[in-house]
A = this chain, B = another copy of it.
C-alpha cells in the first residue's frame, strides 16, 4: 500500500544506470541554472532604491542608481570571465568548495562550502518570498483578493512544498516542466525593457502614474560614500546565482565544460541587459519603493518595483499580467536551482566525510532525497521566521555569495601560481579575487549591524533583524564547526573500525543461553533445538515472577526440555531486565570465551490484532539487550498459521 502510494506520487523507481541519461542540454540547462541569477533582476534594483529611500535621499538623486548598476554590471562581467576559467579548469564540476579546497586547503574549502550551503537555503527562501510578492503585486489589482496579502507566509510555504515534491520526483522532469516559464520570463522582460526604453526615447510619458505624488517632502538625506557603498552592496544581490553553473557542470550533457561555459556567458549577458534596463526604467519613471516611506503619502502598498515599471509601461493590460506571472514563475525556478545545487554539494561533502553519509544516498528516482528534504526544512524555517519578506532576507544572502566568489577566485590564483601560469589567466582571477574580496568587505561591514528605518519593518518576532548579515555569518560558522566535528567522528570511526589482520581472526568460543517463559510451547522447543545445534552446552534461563508457578515449569521442563539444564532466576519486583542483566554480568566474569549468544524464542501471530493478545516481552528484551555489549542476540521465531 505505502509502496503503491509512493509510486503514484513520485513515479517508478529508476535504475542506477539511468543516472547518465538525466544530463541536460543547454536549452534545458539554461532555465535550471540561469534562473537563479536572472531572477535577481526582480529584486536587485529595488534593493538599491530601498537603501536610498531609507536614507531619506531626495529622489531627484535616485539617478545615482544608474551608475551603481553599471558598476555591478562590470562586476558581473568579471565574475563571468572568472567562472569561465573555473569551469574549464574543473570540468568535473567545481564550485567554490572544490576549487578552494584543492588550492587553498581544507579550511578555505569548508568555509566556501558553508557559505554555499547557507546561500542555497537563502536562495530558496528569497526567491519564493519574492515570487509570491510578484504574484501578490498583480493580484492586488483585484480588490476581492486583497486579504491574500495576510497569508503571504503560508503562500510561500505552499510553494516550497510544491517545489520540494517536484524535486523528489527527479531533476529531469522538473527541467522539462520548468523550461517554458523561464523563457517566457526572458522574452517578456526583454520585451518590457525594449518597449519601455523605446517609449522613453520617443519622449512618451508613463501609461500610468507610478511615481509618488508628493516627491521630496521632508527628505533631508544626502548622498554619502557610505550610502552609495551600501546601495551598491544591496545591488550586488544581482550577482547571486552566477556560481550555480560552475557547481553543476556534471549535470550538463557532454562536453560538459563547454556547454556549461556557454550557458554561463548567455546568462551573464542576459543578466547585464535586464538589470541595467530595469534600473534605467525605474529612474526614468521616478519610482520609489513607496511602502518603506509611509510619509510619501502613498498607500502602504507592497507592490514591487518591477510591477510598478510594468504598470508604467503597459498599464493594467495583458502584457503587465504576463510579466508578473513570468516573474513569479522564474523566481520559483530560481528556488528550484537550489534544489539541484544543495543536495549535490551536500552529497559531495558527505562523500568527503563532512556531512552525514545519508546525504550521499540516491533515492528511488536518482535524486538525493535526504538533501532535498533538509533544504526544504531549512528554507521553510527562514520563510516563517522572516515572515516571507524578501528584503529582510537579502542582507543575509549577499554576504555568503561573495565569500564563495572570493574563495574560488583566490583558489584559481593559487592554482595558476603553482602551475607557473603567470599570464592573463592569473591576472583575470587575481583582479576578480581582489574586487570580489573588497565587495565582500563592503557588503559584510555595511550590512552587519546597522539599524536603518527599514530594519524596524523587518523583524524576527519582536527582534529587529537589523540587516543581519551576522545571522548568515553565525550560521556559516556553526556549519563550519559541524563539518569539522563530523569529519573528526568519521576519522575516529575509521580508526576504530579498521581491520587489524591479526588478533581478531581466530575461532570463536561462545556460550549459548535460551530465555524461556513460564510456559513451554512449540516455539521454545524450536529455540532449544536451535541452541543445541549451536552448542552442546546450551543453557536455558527463566526469570520467575511468581515462585508458586515454578514447579509447573520444572515439570514441563522434565518432559520437553531434553538434557538442556534450566536455571530459574527470581524477580521479586516482576521485571525481566534487571535479573537478566545481572545474570549476564555474573556469567561473563566466570567464562573465558568470547561472547554470549542470547536466543530469544518468539512467536509471530498470523493476524495483526492477535499481537494485542500476547505480551510484547520479546521486543522489549531485544530493545534492552541491544545496548548490552558482548552479546549476540538471536531471535528464533515460530509462526502461527491462524
Chain A contact residues, CB within 8 Å of chain B: 13-17, 356-358, 361-364, 486, 489-490, 492-493, 496-501, 504-510, 520-526, 529-530, 532-534, 545-547, 559-560, 562, 572-575, 595, 597, 603-604, 610, 612-615, 626-627, 629, 631-642
Known: A13-B573, A16-B574, A562-B505. A639 touches B629 (CB 8 A): yes
CA distance A574 to B360 in the complex (A): 13
Contact B509 A521 (CB under 8 A): no
Query: Which residues does chain B contribute within 8 Å of A520, judged by CB atoms?
Result: 499
Query: Which residues does chain B contribute within 8 Å of A632, judged by CB atoms?
Result: 530, 634-637
CA distance A121 to B499 in the complex (A): 62
Q: Which residue of B is nearest A573, CB measured?
A: B13
Contact A497 B526 (CB under 8 A): no
Q: Which residue of B is nearest A642, CB measured?
A: B492
Min distance, Cβ A81 to any Cβ of chain B, angstroms: 36
CA distance A545 to B562 in the complex (A): 46
Known: A529-B505, A633-B634. A613 touches B16 (CB 8 A): no
Min distance, Cβ A32 to any Cβ of chain B, angstroms: 24
Contact B521 A489 (CB under 8 A): no
CA distance A509 to B510 in the complex (A): 18
Tell me which of A522, A610, A613, A639 has the highest count of chain B C-beta atoms within 10 A of its own C-beta: A613
Q: Which of B530, B546, B638, B642 contacts A16 (CB 8 A)?
A: B546
Min distance, Cβ A198 to any Cβ of chain B, angstroms: 55
Contact B629 A490 (CB under 8 A): no
List 26 A–B pairs whose Cβ atoms lie within 8 Å, in order of A's numbering.
A13-B574, A14-B573, A16-B572, A356-B614, A357-B614, A362-B574, A364-B573, A364-B575, A486-B613, A497-B523, A499-B522, A499-B525, A504-B526, A505-B529, A506-B529, A507-B529, A507-B532, A508-B530, A530-B595, A530-B632, A604-B627, A626-B637, A629-B639, A631-B637, A632-B634, A632-B635
Contact A573 B15 (CB under 8 A): yes
Q: Which residue of B is nearest A17, CB measured?
A: B572
Query: Which residues does chain B contribute within 8 Å of A496, judged by CB atoms?
Result: 522, 640-642
Q: Which of B13, B505, B597, B613 contacts A489 (CB 8 A)?
A: B613
Min distance, Cβ A553 to any Cβ of chain B, angstroms: 13
Q: Which residue of B is nearest A571, CB measured?
A: B16
Contact A497 B638 (CB under 8 A): yes
- Given A356-B612, A506-B529, A626-B637, 16 extra CB contacts under 8 A: A16-B572, A357-B613, A357-B614, A358-B615, A363-B574, A489-B613, A490-B613, A496-B640, A496-B641, A497-B522, A501-B559, A508-B529, A509-B533, A530-B595, A597-B634, A632-B635
CA distance A635 to B599 in the complex (A): 11
Closest 4 CB pairs of A and B: A497-B521, A508-B533, A15-B572, A634-B634
Contact B635 A626 (CB under 8 A): yes
Query: Which residues does chain B contribute within 8 Å of A636, judged by CB atoms?
Result: 632
CA distance A505 to B638 in the complex (A): 15
Query: Which residues does chain B contribute within 8 Å of A358, judged by CB atoms?
Result: 615
Known: A572-B16, A633-B635. A613 touches B356 (CB 8 A): yes
Q: How many copies does the complex hold?
A: 2
Q: Which residue of B is nearest A639, CB measured?
A: B629
Q: Which of B16, B361, B510, B521 contacts A498 (CB 8 A)?
A: B521
CA distance A626 to B603 in the complex (A): 11
Query: Which residues does chain B contribute within 8 Å of A15, judged by CB atoms?
Result: 572-573
Q: Which of B522, B534, B562, B615 contacts A534 (CB 8 A)?
A: B534
CA distance A524 to B508 in the complex (A): 14
CA distance A356 to B563 in the complex (A): 34
Contact A521 B504 (CB under 8 A): no
Q: Which of B510, B521, B573, B634 contacts A533 (CB 8 A)?
A: B510
Min distance, Cβ A607 to any Cβ of chain B, angstroms: 9
Query: Which residues does chain B contribute within 8 Å of A639, judged by CB atoms?
Result: 629
CA distance A595 to B522 in the complex (A): 15
Query: Which residues does chain B contribute within 8 Å of A612, judged by CB atoms?
Result: 356
Contact A560 B522 (CB under 8 A): no
Query: Which residues does chain B contribute within 8 Å of A356, judged by CB atoms?
Result: 612-614
CA distance A100 to B632 in the complex (A): 51
Query: Which residues does chain B contribute within 8 Å of A603, judged by CB atoms?
Result: 497
CA distance A357 to B605 in the complex (A): 14
Query: Which residues does chain B contribute within 8 Å of A492, judged by CB atoms?
Result: 642
Query: Which residues does chain B contribute within 8 Å of A638, judged by CB atoms?
Result: 497
CA distance A499 to B642 in the complex (A): 17
Min distance, Cβ A373 to any Cβ of chain B, angstroms: 14
Known: A523-B497, A638-B497. A545 touches B357 (CB 8 A): no
CA distance A362 to B603 in the complex (A): 23
Contact B504 A533 (CB under 8 A): no
Query: Which residues does chain B contribute within 8 Å of A533, judged by CB atoms?
Result: 507-510
Min distance, Cβ A613 to any Cβ of chain B, angstroms: 5
Q: Which residue of B is nearest A640, CB measured?
A: B496
Query: Which residues does chain B contribute within 8 Å of A637, judged by CB atoms?
Result: 626, 629, 631-632
Query: Which residues does chain B contribute within 8 Å of A497, judged by CB atoms?
Result: 521-523, 603, 638, 640
Min distance, Cβ A532 to any Cβ of chain B, angstroms: 7
CA distance A594 to B638 in the complex (A): 13
Min distance, Cβ A10 to any Cβ of chain B, angstroms: 13
Min distance, Cβ A402 to any Cβ of chain B, angstroms: 31
Contact A521 B546 (CB under 8 A): no
CA distance A505 to B532 in the complex (A): 11
Query: Which residues does chain B contribute within 8 Å of A525, judged by CB atoms?
Result: 499, 504-505
Q: Which residue of B is nearest A597, CB measured?
A: B634
CA distance A613 to B350 in the complex (A): 10
Query: Which residues does chain B contribute within 8 Å of A627, judged by CB atoms?
Result: 604
CA distance A595 to B501 in the complex (A): 32
